[in-house]
Amino acid sequence: MLVDYHTHPLGHMDREITKDNIREFLESGIEKGIKEIGFTDHNRYYKSFNFKLIEEVAGEYPDIQVKKGIEMDYTPGKEEEIEKFLKQFELDYVIGSIHYIGDWMFDHPDYKDEYDNWDIKELYKEYFNYVKGAAESGLFNILGHLDLIKVFGFKVEGDISDIITPILEVIAQEDLTIEINTNGMNKPAKEFYPSRQILELAYGLGIKVTTSSDAHNAQRVGENLTKVRELLLDIGYKEVATFKEKNRIMVKL
């Protein structure tokens, strides 16, 4: 079953969400064969959230299940604030993501030059230490685009299992789900998040996965998810995670 658990009807704008906007996402998902879609706008646009309207429009489309979520930035030391913020909403799941290291928004092209100030392996260690904190926080159901740090193509040469394996062991211990996010194909990284190497390590540790496009416009809903399914089956996965009211439900790929 194809599911797209990471989409952004609000995109990167703090704007009013409309019925037509929601319909465009749902119709695009149906066209791509998506059976479940999750709306997970960034927490920074919370003033524009309208889950009631999403539920209303979802009733018009019985062929696709709509789930309510948020993509939440994780900041070390802000766990209590994040927990309080999330309690405002009745959600099916929360995606925890790292977009900042300190005050550096490392995935924004305007700030790409900062990579030049880092040893890349040390940067990866720092980034994945943030991921570890997110995994241990107990705040999230899904960890988003696990190796986003490669967004601009800066990669550690060779095997990174020494960096990633301890983090995956924490994710496995916490029984968290990770997403396979196709948006990396649209970036200089030119591969899914996370890499096949990471997915193979995750599979070996029994980590559950879900699938997502990270679509910020309706046209990208479901993008490359059939390829993701083929990849997962090739690795050995037979199921993907779905969620309802924070409960994980595994379904056949």
Digit-coded pLDDT (tens) for 200-234: 999 999 999 999 999 999 999 999 999 999 999 99
Task: Give the residue ranges of the chain where pLDDT is below 50.
Answer: none
Mind giving me the DSSP string for the chain? -EEEEEE-TTTTS-----HHHHHHHHHHHHHTTEEEEEE--BGGGGGG--HHHHHHHHTT-TTSEEEEEEEEE--TT-HHHHHHHHTTS--SEEEEE--EETTEETTSGGGGGGGGGS-HHHHHHHHHHHHHHHHHTS--SEE-STTGGGTTS---SS--HHHHHHHHHHHHHTT-EEEEEGGGGGSTT-S-BS-HHHHHHHHHTT-EEEEE--BSSGGGTTTTHHHHHHHHHHHT--EEEEEETTEEEEEE-
> What's the pLDDT score for residue 16?
84
In angstroms, the CA 2 to CA 120 distance is: 35
> What's the pLDDT score for residue 170?
98
Residue 18 CB partners (closer than 8 Å, separation 6+): none
Q: Which domains does the chain have, with CATH numbers?
A: 2-252 (3.20.20.140)
> What's the pLDDT score for residue 174?
98
Q: What's the mean per-residue pLDDT of the chain?
A: 97
User: How much is the pTM?
Assistant: 0.96
> What's the pLDDT score for residue 12?
84
